[in-house]
Structure 1
Amino acid sequence: MSGTHSETDFSQRWILLLALLTALGPLSIDMYLPALPQMAEDFQVSTQQVANSLPAYFLGLAIGQLIYGPVSDRIGRKKPLYFGLILYVVASFLCIFADNEWSLIAARVLQALGGCVGVVIARAAIRDRLSMQASAHAFASMMIVTTIAPIIAPTLGAWVLSVFEWQFIFALLMLVGVICLVCVHFFFQETLAVERRLNLSFKQVLYLYAAILQDETFRKPMFAGSFSGAVLFCYISASSAILMDDYGLSQQHFAYVFGGNAVGIMLFATINKKLATRLDVRHRLQIGNVLQLCGVLILLGAGIFNQSSIAVVMFGMFLCVAAIGFTGPNAMALAMSEQGARAGTASAIMGSAQFTCGLLGGVLLNFLLWSVLTNMAIIMLVCVLIAMFTIRSLKAPIIAK
């Protein structure tokens, strides 16, 4: 884990550490979802008002990544990790003592601003060390590990609520933040050598953002990955209303379905890795896009005809979500392949774009006039078609490596 650039191998222990840092996001998003009704009762507001802390977290993720990216390109990868994780721990502590929805929302924004450092640095560190093909392999390995978080998070939250109050969930998240901080201190070595760092002013950062966005080798894979990822955020925003309100699943059964779809991401990411020696990165990205399209069409048909069984809807959701195991790592590898020393800033832009697309998709669900299932399927279809158009426009030199 020195400053060596474009190696072709990596240790599983290193990937586990990066995956732990990245897992802060899904843990913080999913673990407290079963507690929303209890929190609403304590705050004497509606569940939807408390649920606004979820888009507040997405907002913090989108903003924070734009800050950590250029900062890490200037001062290295490890120091921002210290700052972000300390902020995450403090914000989690504040969540424990939130006494109304507004103090919770404010604390959640701070929590996201701290926790998002992990995903930015993880992406940049992989690009610091590995070639494009090795990066795609590493991103797929990391996705397999990080997928465990959304598998266990809702169930773990439900178990906690069976014994403790909702505040204990944020105490657990604070503990995870402390563990990450300790692991970074003892096991994370700097990956960006001093001679490769960028000496950037605020004005230069803005120019750097503009330069990266003008780079077609980054911009097109970024759009493909962001709109493919928006499908997942639409699912997160709407699945509880569809499966619990419309189809009557219990909280525990909903947690099992949620976890099962996360297992699908892990399964498809594993298949993606196995295909690395047979298909290039772009073709594997196309496979994921086609799988998502199939899932969306199933959901759209179910929403239009309104007579489909829950099994059909769950299968459509599974394809849409599990295909992230193909689209996520391959779009990331393509986007980061030419970024070099500015990988931190590029990683930040891509992460921010993903959460912005997801946030917009979640907001649009409130404005369409059909059923929740139909609304979700329509937004997903638009996202998948934009991703498909972008993938088809990728030129061969972008993927040749």
Structure 2
Amino acid sequence: MSHIMQKAYPLSWLLLLASLTALGPLSIDMYLPALPQMAQDLHSTPQKIANSLPAYFFGLAIGQLIYGPISDRIGRKKPLYFGLTLYILGCLLCVYANSDWGLIIARITQALGGCVGVVMARAAIRDRLDVEGSAQAFSSMMIVMGIAPVIAPTLGAWILVFFSWHMIFQCLALIGLICLVNVHFFFQDTLAVEKRLHLNAKQVVVLYGSILQDLRFTFPMLCGCLSGGAMFVYINSATVILMGQYHLSQQQFAYVFGINALGITLMSSINKRCANRLSVSQRLVLGGVIQFLGTLLLIVAASFEHFPLWGVMLGMFIVVSSIGLTGPNAMALAMAEQGARAGTASAIMGSMQFMTGLIGGVILNFLIWGELLNMALVMLLCSGGALMAMYQVVKRRAV
């Protein structure tokens, strides 16, 4: 049955879903090379401007909790109209921001709109495919989506060669508009009317509670959130470490960032090739172990005063690329049993993932050591926690 379903929804369908999901990495990564310039123009510091990144994670976390149950009630397409329109508005607010707090508010607005894409994409896949089909679909989508963080900082850096940082957010607004047009003409609602849930506010709270009590969802969710949290810590710290500590230019930073992001695409491809040899849970654990080893390398790098750049880059590459294994498999396992409540379950998982990124960013502000060691320690906390959750997943699936 899953093969029939997969043939009915070809690569073009996944490309549309990937473009909606790619709004997140584009919005997160594209402006990173501009942080020093933005700090100067807004009469602030790079660290204060960098706080717009956790602010974006906050908007992503809150917005997904809203869109999930709404989509289970009214379908997947209508929320896309609203969210993408709000995203475009948020991009324009970023263009006209004249202070660090104005930028933070604009970024929250941008995230509240942009997060609709990832919620609807995950829910649409779960609407149509079984657990193995979902794992394959999520891997295919991550391969396509992996192009976004490769291109984003490079594109942002080249925009800065010819224009000011404002042009970056104008380009993001245009991308949002293109996504909105594609949704209108090419996205068909995947949740049939008879399967929609009739929820009021109280029932939504009860639904959230019942999903979180389902350990078949909770432990895979924790795997995805914690391993993803390590990547968000990297995104928070990469600019300061690579441009500040190792003095890379905007273009050099963009290339290094793009290479790391390309690792996600590489691991996603390996994940698909291993489908016939390893189970979904085995591939999940493999990704977790690889990420943990990467964090250990970064701990070693941070222990030396002048550790070579290539060693730091290798550790970052291992940590980030492992998401190509942990991400799709954790998502497939978490969503496997959710049925008609897939939108709400998708929202919870996405929200908790970005909340982990937000918490990681906050922790970084309170640690007293160097930027590299701070990043490595928070990554170690995330990847170690992910491995503990993976143990529970394997243990329960073996019963």
Pick the TM interval, shorter chain.
Answer: over 0.9
Aligned positions of 1:4-19 closer than 5 A: 7-9=5-7, 10-19=9-18
Greater mean alpha carbon deviation, residues 162-171 or residues 75-84: 162-171
Matches of 1:6 and 1:46, distance apart in 2? 54
Matches of 1:358 and 1:31, distance apart in 2? 17
Normalised to the residue count of structure 1, the TM-score between the two structures is 0.96
Q: CA deviation at 1:396?
A: 6.2
Provide, for residues 231-273 of structure 1, a one-character-per-residue CA deviation record: whole Å limited to 9, x for no partner: 1011111122222222222221111110000111100100000
Q: What residue number does 1:157 align with?
A: 156
Provide, for residues 323-363 of structure 1, a one-character-per-residue CA deviation record: whole Å limited to 9, x for no partner: 00000000000000000000000000000110111111111
Q: CA deviation at 1:5?
A: 12
Q: What residue number does 1:249 align with?
A: 248
Matches of 1:8 and 1:17, distance apart in 2? 15
Task: Say if 2:74 is the partner of 1:53.
Answer: no
SS in 2 for 1:190: coil
Matches of 1:286 and 1:274, distance apart in 2? 16
Using a 3 Å threshold, how does the CA distance of structure 1 residues 61 and 127 change in structure 2: closer, same or farther? same
Q: CA deviation at 1:6?
A: 9.1
Query: Which amino acid is the alignment partner of residue 110 of structure 2?
Result: Q
Task: Say if 2:66 is the partner of 1:105.
Answer: no
Task: Say if 2:360 is the partner of 1:361.
Answer: yes
Q: What residue number does 2:165 align with?
A: 166
Sequence identity (%): 61
Matches of 2:244 and 2:33, distance apart in 1? 14
Q: CA deviation at 1:30?
A: 1.1
Q: How many residues align structurally?
A: 397
Q: CA deviation at 1:307?
A: 4.2
Q: What residue number does 1:393 align with?
A: 392
Q: What residue number does 1:92 align with?
A: 91
Matches of 2:219 and 2:272, distance apart in 1? 22
Provide, for residues 155-176 of structure 1, a one-character-per-residue CA deviation record: whole Å limited to 9, x for no partner: 1111111111221111111110
Q: CA deviation at 1:110?
A: 0.8
Does the Cα contact within 8 Å between 2:22 and 2:145 map onto a contact in 1?
yes
Does the Cα contact within 8 Å between 1:81 and 1:184 map onto a contact in 2?
yes
Q: What residue number does 2:195 align with?
A: 196
SS in 2 for 1:394: helix
Q: What residue number does 2:294 align with?
A: 295
SS in 2 for 1:365: helix
Q: CA deviation at 1:50?
A: 2.1
Does the Cα contact within 8 Å between 1:282 and 1:399 map onto a contact in 2?
no
Using a 3 Å threshold, how does the CA distance of structure 1 residues 129 and 217 change in structure 2: closer, same or farther? same
Q: What residue number does 1:283 align with?
A: 282
Matches of 2:99 and 2:105, distance apart in 1? 10
Matches of 1:5 and 1:209, distance apart in 2? 31
Using a 3 Å threshold, how does the CA distance of structure 1 residues 36 and 308 change in structure 2: closer, same or farther? closer
Provide, for residues 53-76 of structure 1, a one-character-per-residue CA deviation record: whole Å limited to 9, x for no partner: 211111100000000000000000
Matches of 1:286 and 1:14, distance apart in 2? 29
SS in 2 for 1:55: helix
Aligned positions of 1:2-401 closer than 5 A: 7-9=5-7, 10-395=9-394, 398=397
SS in 1 for 2:366: coil
Matches of 1:5 and 1:59, distance apart in 2? 38
Provide, for residues 74-130 of structure 1, a one-character-per-residue CA deviation record: whole Å limited to 9, x for no partner: 000000000101111122122222222222221111110000000000000000000
Matches of 2:45 and 2:306, distance apart in 1? 30
Matches of 1:313 and 1:78, distance apart in 2? 43
Matches of 1:122 and 1:304, distance apart in 2? 41
Using a 3 Å threshold, how does the CA distance of structure 1 residues 371 and 40 change in structure 2: closer, same or farther? closer
Greater mean alpha carbon deviation, residues 152-161 or residues 219-228: 152-161
SS in 1 for 2:373: helix
Provide, for residues 284-314 of structure 1, a one-character-per-residue CA deviation record: whole Å limited to 9, x for no partner: 0011001001111111111123342111111
Query: Which amino acid is the alignment partner of residue 296 of structure 2?
Result: L
Matches of 1:7 and 1:169, distance apart in 2? 39
Matches of 1:136 and 1:50, distance apart in 2? 37
Normalised to the residue count of structure 2, the TM-score between the two structures is 0.96
Greater mean alpha carbon deviation, residues 304-313 or residues 155-164: 304-313
Does the Cα contact within 8 Å between 2:237 and 2:371 map onto a contact in 1?
yes
Using a 3 Å threshold, how does the CA distance of structure 1 residues 64 and 88 change in structure 2: closer, same or farther? same
Does the Cα contact within 8 Å between 1:292 and 1:321 map onto a contact in 2?
yes
Provide, for residues 213-233 of structure 1, a one-character-per-residue CA deviation record: whole Å limited to 9, x for no partner: 000110000001100000101
Query: Which amino acid is the alignment partner of residue 7 of structure 1?
Result: M
Does the Cα contact within 8 Å between 1:39 and 1:50 map onto a contact in 2?
yes
Q: CA deviation at 1:398?
A: 4.2
Q: Mind listing any 5+ residue stretches in structure 2 that lack a counterpart?
A: none
Does the Cα contact within 8 Å between 1:303 and 1:373 map onto a contact in 2?
yes
RMSD of aligned Cα (Å): 1.6
Does the Cα contact within 8 Å between 1:29 and 1:54 map onto a contact in 2?
yes
Does the Cα contact within 8 Å between 1:334 and 1:398 map onto a contact in 2?
no
